[in-house]
Structure formats: structure tokens, C-alpha cells
Amino acid sequence: MLFTLVVIYGLMVGSFLNVCIYRLPRGESVVKPRSRCPHCGHQLTVRENIPVLSYLFLHGKCSSCKASISPRYVLVEILTATVFLIAYWQFGPTLDFLFFTGFLCLVIVITFIDLDHQIIPNQLLLVGIIPGLYPLFRDGWGAYKLYLVGALGLGSGFYAIAVLGQLAFRKESMGMGDVKYAALIGLILGWQSGIVATALAFVSASILFLVLMPFKKIAFGQRIPFGPFLSLGTFFALMWGSDIIHWYLKQVF
């Protein structure tokens, strides 16, 4: 029963995240006006605005101009609901659940804006400082230093990579948006899970690179948005960070 509610809640939040992903880079308000068809401007009715179901009822087309609606809207809704479900399964009805899902919403918005526009807006990174204060409130000042070290460590590490990349390829290979995003992830996760997130990001980016290279879809030194990989690593580190660290230490020692 509770799990069903979490899924419905996740789908509704996902629907709002779609609005943020579309409107924030265009400098539009995310509160008003009501959602419109991007092709003909037809204002969506309440029935046309239900997550997932409306898309199925309308067969993926605008009811007014019949232009097809991107299946990505549904994908973001289902992705958000899945993330919420896994977080609830992991943390139950706790403050951790509330703050981590809040941060993961931001992660989802950043990921898709980075995919669409190759930018990570500064305002979104600043909003992330709010959930970044949660460990201070939960664990006190003593433990919070681990999170500040995480922010400084990942931020300066990525800055060094950006500078070295610039020197090696004579063009920007990692943007400042990625550097700031890495610092924020360090603040949220602390340095230990922060390293797990970054390692997972580099591993997943390398795997994709090796898969795509034979198809000539990608060239060495080409700039790829690294934000989505950081997001993927962050999700796994947030959900299973300490499990991954224990597993890794067992293999090494």
C-alpha cells in the first residue's frame, strides 16, 4: 500500500521535473502558466496532464494538433518513481528518504538539462546546498567536516582534471559546470561515498566510450557531457555507498 503511494508520489514529482527540465534553461517560470503543447500552444487539461496515463490515452500525440509528444516525458516520470521506490525500500519513511529524494530530483533535472544543452545552471547547483546542510543537522559539526572535505576534495580534483584536459587536448574537455557539480556531490555524500560516486562515473563513462568507439559515434578527446555519469554514480553511492566501500575493501585487503 505504502509502496503504491510512493510510486504515485514519484510519478507526480517526475511530471513536475519535466516542467523544470523544459522551462528552467529557457528562463521561464516553473509555476505558471499551465503546461502547453510545445508545437501548437494548446493548454493541457487536467485529464491530459496525468503522469504516464495521459500519454497512453492520447497515444503519445497532442489532442489538438496531433504532433507526437516525446516519450522522454514518460521516461522521466517512470525514472523518478523508480528512484523514489528504491530510496523508500532502502531508507523507509525517514528524514533520510525525504532529503535524499529531494537531492535526487535535483540530480535528475541537472542530468537532462546537461544532456539537452551541455550546461549545468548555477542556480540549480546553489539550490543543492540546502540538502547539503542536512548532514550537519543530522550528525553535528564533528562529522560534517567529512562532507566539507568531500566538497573541497572532489571540487579541486575535478578542477585539476579540467586544467590537465585543457593542456592535453588544447580545448575544453571538462567544463566548469562539471567541476562545481562534483563539489556539490562531495558535500552531499562526504568524501568516502563521494569517491565511490566519481569512480562509478569514470567507469560507466569509459564503458560507454569503449562501446561507442567502434561505431565511430565518438572520437578520442571529444567533449561529452560528464554530468549524467556523475549523476549515475551519485545515485548508486547514495543508495549503496557503504556496501560498495565494504565490498571493495574486502577485495583489496
58/245 with CB nearer Zn ion = 58
> Could you tell me which stretch among 42-50, 169-177, 183-191, 211-219 binds Zn ion (CB under 5 A)?
42-50
Site string for Zn ion, 100-119 (x = CB under 5 A): --------------------
Three-state SS string across the chain, please? CHHHHHHHHHHHHHHHHHHHHHHHHHCCCCCCCCCECCCCCCECCCHHHCCCHHHHHCCCECCCCCCECCCHHHHHHHHHHHHHHHHHHHHCCCHHHHHHHHHHHHHHHHHHHHHHHCCCCHHHHHHCHHHHCHHHHHHHHHHHHHHHHHHHHHHHHHHHHHHHHHHHHCCCCCCHHHHHHHHHHHHHHHHHHHHHHHHHHHHHHHHHHHHHHHHCCCCCCCCCCCHHHHHHHHHHHHHHHHHHHHHHHHHHC
Site string for Zn ion, 59-88 (x = CB under 5 A): ---x-xx-x---------------------
Q: Does 36 bind Zn ion (CB under 5 A)?
A: no
> Could you tell me which stretch among 39-47, 167-175, 180-188, 211-219 binds Zn ion (CB under 5 A)?
39-47
Q: Does 163 bind Zn ion (CB under 5 A)?
A: no
Quote the least distance from Cβ 19 to Zn ion, whole Å: 16
Q: Does 42 bind Zn ion (CB under 5 A)?
A: yes
> Could you tell me which stretch among 10-18, 35-43, 124-132, 167-175 binds Zn ion (CB under 5 A)?
35-43
